[in-house]
Structure 1
Amino acid sequence: MEAQSPEQRSAIVVFDGVCALCNGWVDFLIARDRRERYRFAAMQTPAGRRLLAAHGLDPDDPVSFLLLDEAGAHTDTDAIMRVLAGLGGAWRLAAAGRIVPRDLRNLLYRYFARHRYRWFGRHDACHMPSPAEAHRFIED
């Protein structure tokens, strides 16, 4: 069996690149993901659009972010909990959120997602990674 490169082992987070809250989420992950497990694709980039469409999400009406990892594709609160748990350490406790029924968790998530621009703001352009972060972003 051929060894996988770090890029092949990386999980991909597809996020809304113009959402202020979503950009804060990416900054949060970059600051805590010391193993560089996660790579990122803004929904507005060709790569982000392709990944959303390939997993049944409308790239023109993004209501969720998408996590692609070794176990498959995840959205909504399942994706949030998997991303946090993937950071390791105490963040693994995020998986305890599964005690709340998925339908209720996702109802709350969708409510926040629908109001994210109004409550947290919107940028005119996608997140611009620093030169040190650029290798973690997928654009085309």
Structure 2
Amino acid sequence: MIVVFDAQCLLCNRWVRFLLRYDRVGRFRFASMQGHTGQRLLASAGLPVDGLQTLLLVDGDRSWQHTAAILRVLHQLGWPWRLAWAAWLVPAPLRNALYRWMARNRYRIWGRSEVCMVPSPETAARFLD
């Protein structure tokens, strides 16, 4: 599974660090939307490569975005993160409205880095660009 994320977004970088910490079996790989692989995956999913305001999860030829991507990722992490699956009880329009608001304001609230995240040598192999 590939997580396509905004490498300049500090919230997104925290999300990736969280996944690196709790994905003990290494099932997730990462592609920044600023890189060639990330842009190719975004285009394949029919999403704009510029100004995107969502996380993308790609598994083979299937993809998910917004809260569906986050909930699928958390489910894959196992216990206790699998409890987040209960959020499916909240209607998608409500979950995704909150997600889109956070995505639109992510730089203002959490900050932005002008430099993309640099993985550690131990995790570098999990990054595609």
Interval containing the TM-score (normalised by the shorter chain): over 0.9
Match in the other structure for 1:18: 8
SS of alignment partner, residue 23 of structure 1: helix
Query: What TM-score, normalized to structure 2?
Result: 0.97
Q: Distance in 1 between matches of 2:48 and 2:91?
A: 25
CA offset digits 1:4-54 (Å, max 9, x no partner):
xxxxxxx10000000000000000010001100100000000000110111
Identify which of 53, 72, 75 aligns with 2:43. Answer: 53
CA RMSD of aligned residues (A): 1.0
Does the C-alpha gap of structure 1 residues 46 and 71 become closer, same or farther in structure 2, counting only changes over 3 Å?
closer
1:136 partnered with 2:102:
no
Give, in whole Å, the separation in 1 of the partners of 2:44 and 2:76.
Answer: 23
CA displacement at 1:71 relative to structure 2: 7.8
Alignment map for 1:95-114 (pairs within 5 Å): 95-114=85-104
Counterpart-to-counterpart distance in 2, 1:41 and 1:12:
7
Deviations along 1:38-75, one digit per CA (max 9) or x if unpaired, are: 00000000000110111011110111010012582000
- Count of residues in Structure 1 that have an aligned counterpart in Structure 2: 129
Give the aligned partner of residue 32 of structure 2.
42
The 5-angstrom pairing of residues 79-94 of structure 1 reads: 79-94=69-84
Which position in structure 2 is the counterpart of 1:6? none
* Runs of 4+ that moved beyond 4 A: none
Unaligned runs of 5+ in 1: 1-10
Task: Give the AA of the match of 1:38.
Answer: F
Local SS of the residue matching 2:4:
strand
Q: Deviations over 1:116-136 (max 9, x none)?
A: 000000001111001110000
Identity across aligned pairs (percent)? Answer: 52
| Higher Rg of the two aligned structures | 1
